[in-house]
Chains A and B, each alone.
Chain A
Amino acid sequence: MIGILICQIVVSIILACFFLFRPSLTRTTDWKIGAFIGLFVLPGLCIVGGMNVHVQRSETTRFCTSCHVMIPYGQSLYIDDAKHIPAQHFQNHRVPANMACYSCHADYTIYGPLKDKMAGLKRIYLQYVSTPPDPAAIRIPGGFKNVQCLHCHLGARSFEENPVHTALMDSIKSNQMSCLSSGCHDTAHDIANLGHLKFWKPVQ
């Protein structure tokens, strides 16, 4: 994908170079069409293609953990303990491993991806302009919403047939009771105790 886009960009640059050094070429109709393609159509497609690549890239686990404050969160995905919900999902591919962060933290609404990108820009501002927060002190504004879990689990047999889930289904769906409540699935990204935990080492 990136290779094709870079080829398109290079072709566009070559075409634009003609009009930079020989603008008089546009006196003929053929070169007028060439100018339209080289200075309007191709650059426009390059913007669209570039935006697409960058948006897709920003959804990858590697991208999320490339910020310093997110490194411990990336490490927590390798904790060797089935009680750690993010690690369990990541290691068993219950979410795509290359999009682990985005799968659970995306806003699954119409304007969700746009809101996520705006929030990402705010985090970049905090990282490079303001003071970055302490990784252990990071909290999701408004708390982790059940809809993130239900996006995948709702309708799944193992979830629906669990007697605890069945009894509390209304509270879970209305977000009155969090999935991360104490006694339920309460261990997620245990950053504070990362030094004392055992880690899983993938074969590769």
Chain B
Amino acid sequence: MKLSNIGIRRLLQVSSALVIAGLLLEIVSLLWFHPLSFVLFAFLAASLIALGILVYLVSLVFVVEPSADEPNLSSSSPETSNRSS
């Protein structure tokens, strides 16, 4: 399956879920005063956040979605109008 077929929305959801999970773990690691809290942060929380950021960046690079602010050129293009006629 190509990345472009997955869709930016699905990738954004995955990215958000990973970032949220990582940030929640980071809060736990900050409030937990224990030698393992550093391991929890470095190997789990930071990894999840970094993976979430990576998925977000991948969605920007490989998946392109037309912006709502841009005018819908396809409807007014000559090709479209020719086809309709």
Show the binding face of A for B, using Cβ within 8 Å.
2, 5-6, 9-10, 12-13, 16-17, 19-20, 23-24, 26-29, 32, 35, 38-40, 43-44, 46-47, 50-51, 53-54, 57-58, 62-63, 66-67, 120-121, 124, 127-128
Contact = CB atoms under 8 A, between A and B. Distances in A.
Contact of B38 (A28, A43, A47, A58): A58
A78 B14 CA distance: 52
Contact of B34 (A35, A38, A66): A66
Interface in B8-44: 8-10, 12-13, 15-17, 19-20, 22-24, 26-27, 29-30, 33-39, 41-42
Contact of A6 (B19, B30, B35, B41): B30
B67 interface: yes
Interface of B: 8-10, 12-13, 15-17, 19-20, 22-24, 26-27, 29-30, 33-39, 41-42, 45-46, 49-50, 52-53, 56-57, 65, 67-69
Contacts of B22: 43
Nearest to A58: B38
Contact of B19 (A29, A32, A39): A39
A19 B12 contact: yes
Contacts, number: 109
B49 A46 contact: yes
B83 to A, nearest CB: 26
B30 A17 contact: no
Give the interface centre of B26, B36, B53 by most chain A CB atoms within 10 Å. B26
B7 to A, nearest CB: 9
Given A27-B68, A128-B36, A19 B16 contact: yes
A124 B12 contact: no
A39 B13 contact: no
Contacts of A66: 33-35
A130 B33 CA distance: 22
A19 B13 contact: yes
Contacts of B8: 23, 26
A67 B49 CA distance: 28
Contacts of B37: 54
A27 B67 CA distance: 5
15 contacts: A9-B23, A12-B23, A17-B16, A19-B12, A23-B8, A23-B12, A28-B69, A39-B15, A46-B23, A46-B49, A50-B46, A54-B29, A54-B30, A54-B42, A67-B35
Contacts of B67: 27-29, 32
A2 B16 contact: no
A31 B26 CA distance: 25
Given A28-B67, A54-B29, A47 B36 contact: no
